Amino acid sequence: MTLQGRNFREDGSLKGVSSVNLHEYQAKRLFAEHGVPIPDGEVATTPSEAREIARELGGRVVVKSQVLTGGRGKAGGIKLANNPDEAEILAGQILGMDIKGFTVRKVLIDKQAPGIAREIYLAVLIDRGRRRPMIMASAAGGMDIEQVAAEAPEKILTVHIEPALGVRSYHSRYLAAGMNMPRELWRDFHNIVSNLYTCFTVNDASLTEINPLVITGENKLLALDGKLSIDDNALYRHPRLADMRDTEEEPEAEREARLSGINFIKLDGNIGCMVNGAGLAMTTMDVIEYFGGSPANFLDIGGGAKAEQVATALRIILSDPNVKAVLFNIFGGITRGDEVARGIVEALEQVQTEVPMVVRLAGTNAAEGMAILADAEMETAATLSEAAQKAVAAAKVQEAQS
């Protein structure tokens, strides 16, 4: 029942699941499709739209910034309005606001709940260790759940769900009783838990979260906030969800990489890295630092990378002006050294650059690859340590010259 050893990201999702995060308004609409009660509301992109929506909702509304980060309330991105005029003014303040590096482009205008008697936390996620979906609930809703986990883990209740059985009434009764929820709400609570779980499985989610689920002044349950993360690997069977990805919040180079099937994360150093495999890519970064250098990026070209993909990866690396040297570390298994070598040579024909490069190829078809590189007069290395040392030295020379 404690969270010890479970790992949460800031957004509450479990580590180890790479996901597309949806905005609150998208998540809540999906919840509603599955029968979870949410406030009436609509999205606005301008203050005048916000005013019109607030008028239709009766005036008393919440103006909520839609950005993919936590702590919106503390940052001033969620405000109560008592009438359409206030909604317009607040929307004007919130739209364009920067919250933790994200620019607010949309606000959700929700009708205010008719009083809030209690706030509950409710989520469905995956427990890797138990290899089961897990429902987590807490009477300490409305707070950061990681903080609850750290300070009062006994306030968090969990039940694991056997997929073949699904959510049974005793699961939700256990949670409801544990939170001292009024008995007359148990049936509605069961429906919400069951529907949130269905929403989780039907959409291949890695997280569905309601924080808070409130008991209103009218003694009804209502989901005031919503988070939903979708397992990247399952997007192929959810084209509608794939289209909901907010690409405006993704850095340009990372978007280009993703669309090419390349795993790229920009860092602050000056040695660009192109590696096959995530573990080896991290190790290459570690070894660069071990020899006194600093990696400019994490880049995994994946398995079976073709020449074209290598060329794209090189363009992405060189688009960073900080890069003073590039280290290629390719250990072939599924990826073939000759294809990578051809990719490097082709890419260098397309991309004119003075940046020095060091290539280390080993494994499947490495000899063929090395021959191609030798013909192109590229600098090569036999081991990762040697390659890292050469790249660190080359970057230092370039840095001194610039």
* Contact footprint for other proteins (CB under 8 A): 5, 7-10, 14-18, 126, 128-129, 131-133, 146, 163-164, 201, 204, 206, 231-234, 236-237, 263, 265, 267, 275-283, 285-290, 295, 298, 300, 303-304, 331-335, 362-364, 383-385
Residue 245 beta carbon to other proteins: minimum distance, rounded to whole angstroms: 15
Give the active site residue among 86, 88, 209, 339: 209
Among this protein's residues, is 121 annotated catalytic? Answer: yes
The length of the chain in residues reads 402
CB nearer to other proteins: pick between 5 and 239? 5
CB nearer to other proteins: pick between 186 and 298? 298
CB nearer to other proteins: pick between 162 and 399? 162
Residue 204 beta carbon to other proteins: minimum distance, rounded to whole angstroms: 6
Distances (CA, A) of 115 to 25, 126, 163, 218: 21, 33, 36, 7
One-letter amino acid identity for 370?
Answer: M
Token pair 């303040």: residue: 93
Query: Could you give the CA distance from residue 184 to residue 178 in angstroms, rounded to a whole number?
Result: 15
CB nearer to other proteins: pick between 81 and 263? 263
What are residue 30's phi and psi, to 5 degrees?
-65, -40
Query: Could you give the CA distance from residue 383 to residue 98 in angstroms, rounded to a whole number?
Result: 45
Residue 301 beta carbon to other proteins: minimum distance, rounded to whole angstroms: 10
Query: Could you give the CA distance from residue 277 to residue 282 in angstroms, rounded to a whole number?
Result: 9
Residue 385 beta carbon to other proteins: minimum distance, rounded to whole angstroms: 5
Residue 274 beta carbon to other proteins: minimum distance, rounded to whole angstroms: 12
Give the active site residue among 88, 121, 197, 339: 121
Among this protein's residues, is 209 annotated catalytic? Answer: yes
Strands (E), 267-324: 271-275, 297-300
Report DSSP state, residue 14: B
Token pair 């609570």: residue: 189
Half-sphere CA count of 145, side-chain side, radius 13 A: 28
Q: What would the two tokens of residue 133 be?
A: 């979906």
CB nearer to other proteins: pick between 108 and 230? 230
SS3 135: strand
Q: What would the two tokens of residue 3 be?
A: 């969270």
Catalytic residue positions, numbered: 121, 209
